[in-house]
């Protein structure tokens, strides 16, 4: 994998996170190129990582084995159409991280034979702690499948879905998910202050507790429900808090919120496609 040449079309935050993750994972900087119309952004990522930079998209992918399209959905049709000739000549694997753009549209713009993987990373990828959902078009071969996974795994965990429509569910869970936890932390900090704790203490205790709980859930063989039961003593303080959450309808509220996020993802995808 480390001998593969990777070109990034777009050099924004997510592209920069992937590039840095790949380099930390041992991928040679000389095998990575980025292009972007913003020359200052290109110069910065070039100075930070030592990769090649080019303001010409087609030139950037001329010898690429993998092309990562990391531009906003609103401009992806123009960008994809602009590199279609170069893609047809080189036939690289194309990985798109543009939200809401189906593989059928990408193949329409890039060429029907183009091997495309659609991905939905989330913002913790910028700390190499991301969670990414992946969907492969039918013509993606086993080697390309593994290659796409290796690239996205450089910034965190990867999960494949068998149906492209499930990318909308991935968006509801991990794409939007960090904000759910930030909101819960925000309310815990506010409540802790009302209970009398200084702001700094409330902040640190809440964030460290969130980190510790997440690590326990990731590293334990037990599922979150079992872990919750283990720390909930009958008649104790935790049980009182849990009962209050449940009485308040937390389970249904979470379900409604995630359905709303999923439905909005579907709606936005339809608007972009139209």
Domain ranges, ordered by start, for the chain: 6-170, 177-269
pLDDT, tens digit, 9 for 90 and up, residues 159-194: 999 999 999 999 999 999 999 999 999 999 999 999
Question: What pLDDT is attached to residue 100?
Answer: 87
Asked if 6-170 and 177-269 have one fold, the answer is no
Is residue 74 scored above 90 in pLDDT? Answer: no
Is residue 215 scored above 70 in pLDDT? Answer: yes
- CATH number for the domain running over 177-269: 1.10.3730.10
CATH topology of domain 6-170: Rossmann fold (3.40.50)
Regarding pTM above 0.75, the answer is yes
CB 9 within 8 Å of CB 70: yes
The average pLDDT across 43-69 equals 94
Question: What pLDDT is attached to residue 274?
Answer: 66
Contacts of residue 154, defined as CB under 8 A and 6 or more positions apart, other chains included, come to 18, 21, 22, 24, 25, 27, 128
Write out the H or E segment, with its range, that includes residue 8. strand 6-9
Q: Which of 78, 75, 113, 72 is nearest to 94 (CA)?
A: 113
Strands (E), 28-129: 32-35, 52-54, 66-69, 93-96, 115-120
DSSP 15-46: HHHHHHHHHHTT--GGGEEEE-S-HHHHHHHH
Q: Is 128 left (phi over 0), alpha (psi -120 to 50) or beta?
A: left
Mean pLDDT score across all residues of the chain: 94
């Amino acid at each position: 994998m480390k001998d593969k040449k990777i070109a990034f079309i777009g050099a924004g935050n997510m592209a920069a996170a992937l590039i840095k993750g790949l380099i930390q994972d041992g991928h040679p900087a000389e095998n990575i190129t980025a292009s972007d119309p913003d020359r200052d952004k290109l110069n910065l990522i070039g100075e930070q990582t030592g990769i090649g930079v080019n303001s010409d998209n087609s030139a950037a992918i001329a010898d690429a084995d993998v092309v990562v399209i990391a531009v906003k959905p609103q401009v992806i049709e123009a960008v994809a159409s602009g590199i279609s000739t170069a893609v047809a000549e080189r036939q690289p694997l194309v990985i798109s991280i543009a939200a809401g753009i189906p593989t059928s549209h990408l193949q329409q713009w890039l060429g029907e034979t183009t091997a495309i993987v659609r991905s939905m990373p989330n913002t913790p990828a910028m700390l190499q702690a991301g969670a990414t959902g992946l969907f492969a078009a039918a013509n993606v071969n086993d080697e390309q499948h593994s290659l796409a996974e290796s690239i996205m795994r450089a910034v965190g965990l990867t999960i494949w879905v068998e149906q492209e429509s499930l990318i909308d569910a991935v968006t509801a869970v991990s794409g939007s998910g960090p904000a759910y936890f930030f909101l819960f932390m925000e309310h815990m900090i506010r409540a802790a202050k009302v209970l009398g704790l200084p702001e700094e203490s409330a902040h640190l205790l809440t964030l460290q507790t969130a980190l510790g709980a997440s690590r326990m859930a990731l590293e334990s063989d037990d599922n979150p429900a079992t872990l919750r039961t283990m720390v909930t003593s009958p008649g104790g303080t935790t049980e009182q808090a849990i009962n209050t959450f449940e009485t308040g309808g937390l389970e249904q509220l979470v379900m409604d919120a995630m359905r709303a996020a999923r439905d909005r993802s579907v709606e936005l995808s339809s608007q972009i496609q139209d």
